[in-house]
Structure 1
Amino acid sequence: MTGTPALGGRTDYSGEGIVEADAPDAPLPLVQAWLDAAIARQEEQGDVPEPSAISVATVDGDGMPDVRTVLMRFLDGRGPGFLTSTASAKGRQLRENDAIAVSLTWPSMFRAVRFRGYAEALEHHLVADYFRSRPYGSRISAHASAQSDPVSGRAALEEAYRRCEERWPDTGDPEDVPLPAHWGGYRVRAERVEVWGGRRNRLHDRLVWTRVAPGGLDEPDAWRRGRIQP
């Protein structure tokens, strides 16, 4: 039987990697530095589109995994956070099982970060403040779209959007569109954080922080750092 050929050509990763001497005792300073570098590179070279995009993995009630990409809107000692409809598939899954994993990946920089832990609902004031900061059209879409539910076609979606526009006209006031009851967000309370740095000959660097005590991503006493093989 003929095997399926590998997709694309082989690339020998030429990243800088990461060594223990340059790694902090808690993961946040390094993760933030890598995120800042990705944002700067996108602004300068344009080869890191959506540098704050995260893949979010959850598990449904039957134990089947699910993954999708959203934008990370918060990152601090409490963990990465994102906004979404809590009535969406991910919201329903997190109500049944709060286990979650998220990852940031910057292929052009040969870098990635993984968080593994449990989802916690974002505080209401953070959700409300962020919703008010969104463009008018995005606030309208949050009402028009029943995220993850079936729809008969594009026309039905656009009609729902038009009805919401009529109900809440654009006045230029951030309060002109109310916060939907189902709109919220989650923060990842990480139990494990891994950074990956691509190296030549597939001898990549993988450093891992494992939680050993309560504390934030910026608190060294909460973490034990180690290396795992590529």
Structure 2
Amino acid sequence: MSANELISGDFTERDEPFKLFAEWLKDAEGSEINDPNAVALATVDEDGLPNVRMVLLKGFDSDGFVFYTNFESQKGREILGQKKAAMCFHWKTLRRQVRVRGPVEIVTEEEADAYFQTRARGSRIGAWASKQSRPLESRFALERAVAEYTARYAIGEIPRPPYWSGFRIKPVSIEFWKDQNFRLHDRIEFRRKAPEGDWQKIRMYP
């Protein structure tokens, strides 16, 4: 049975959402031209004002959805302050959307170190050079910082900055949306009271 058939049917083949998400992401990898793992990440600042931006999903399993960032960035500070976030995947060519909400935890040091070393060398240098989300006096200042760190780490491995790591959203809600004619879309939400709880499936009005 295809993911299309599942979303249009009764979802009797799925008692939890992660396998269905894996199928949809695999479909997106075959259809999206750029970054099928791109996702809108929503956070809330200390004044309760929401923020949203695009990030890249770097991993997921039954524990949650993982992405990496500078913890001193705006999104890093907001997540550390509120300990919760939401995501929205939208695959336009497939006419599908997935929404994720839940509390957030920091990945382990081992996870962060392992992922950091998979990044391109230039990206690792950039993690040191960029004071993310803070005012930049000029493009030259950034280029100078990149040159300085390139010289500092000219030989050998580049260590992970202490302020750079990953977050894991541990979902309490995952909603799948599939476009249908006349805006009578298919929506199904998997919901639970806590990240360790059992999932409840609920079909929603479009």
TM interval, shorter chain, is over 0.9
CA contact (8 A) 1:103 1:115 kept: yes
Other structure's SS at 2:19 match: helix
**Alpha carbons of 1:147 and 1:54: their partners in 2 closer, same or farther (altered >3 Å)?**
same
Measure how far apart 1:40 and its partner are.
Answer: 2.1
TM-score when normalising by structure 2: 0.93
TM-score when normalising by structure 1: 0.84
**Which one of the candidate residues 51, 56, 60 is aligned to 2:36?**
51
Task: Tell which has more relative contact order, 1 or 2 (C-alpha 8 A, sep 6+).
Answer: 1
**Which one of the candidate residues 168, 180, 191 is aligned to 1:210?**
191
Please show how residues 57-136 of structure 1 align to structure 2 within 5 Å: 57-136=42-121
**Is there any run of 5+ residues in structure 1 with no aligned partner, and where?**
1-14, 216-220
Find the aligned partners of 1:163 and 1:214 in 2 and give their Cα distance. Answer: 43
**Alpha carbons of 1:26 and 1:98: their partners in 2 closer, same or farther (altered >3 Å)?**
same
Measure how far apart 1:18 and its partner are.
Answer: 3.0
Q: Name the aligned partner's letter for residue 202 of structure 1.
A: R
Find the aligned partners of 2:190 and 2:108 in 1 and give their Cα distance. Answer: 26
Please show how residues 4-23 of structure 1 align to structure 2 within 5 Å: 17-21=7-11, 23=13
Larger radius of gyration: 1
Find the aligned partners of 1:131 and 1:62 in 2 and give their Cα distance. Answer: 32
Residue 15 (structure 2) pairs with residue 39 (structure 1): no
Measure how far apart 1:20 and its partner are.
Answer: 1.7
Query: What are the Cα deviations for residues 7-34 of structure 1, in whole angstroms up to 9, with x where unaligned?
Result: xxxxxxxx87532246511000100100
Please show how residues 115-194 of structure 1 align to structure 2 within 5 Å: 115-169=100-154, 171=155, 173=156, 176-194=157-175
Residue 202 (structure 2) pairs with residue 229 (structure 1): no
Residue 13 (structure 2) pairs with residue 26 (structure 1): no
Q: Name the aligned partner's letter for residue 196 of structure 1.
A: W
Query: What are the Cα deviations for residues 197-230 of structure 1, in whole angstroms up to 9, with x where unaligned?
Result: 0011100011001114653xxxxx7100011111
**Alpha carbons of 1:214 and 1:83: their partners in 2 closer, same or farther (altered >3 Å)?**
closer
Query: What are the Cα deviations for residues 51-89 of structure 1, in whole angstroms up to 9, with x where unaligned?
Result: 001111000000000011110001100011000011111
Q: Percent identity of the aligned residues?
A: 36
CA contact (8 A) 1:74 1:80 kept: yes
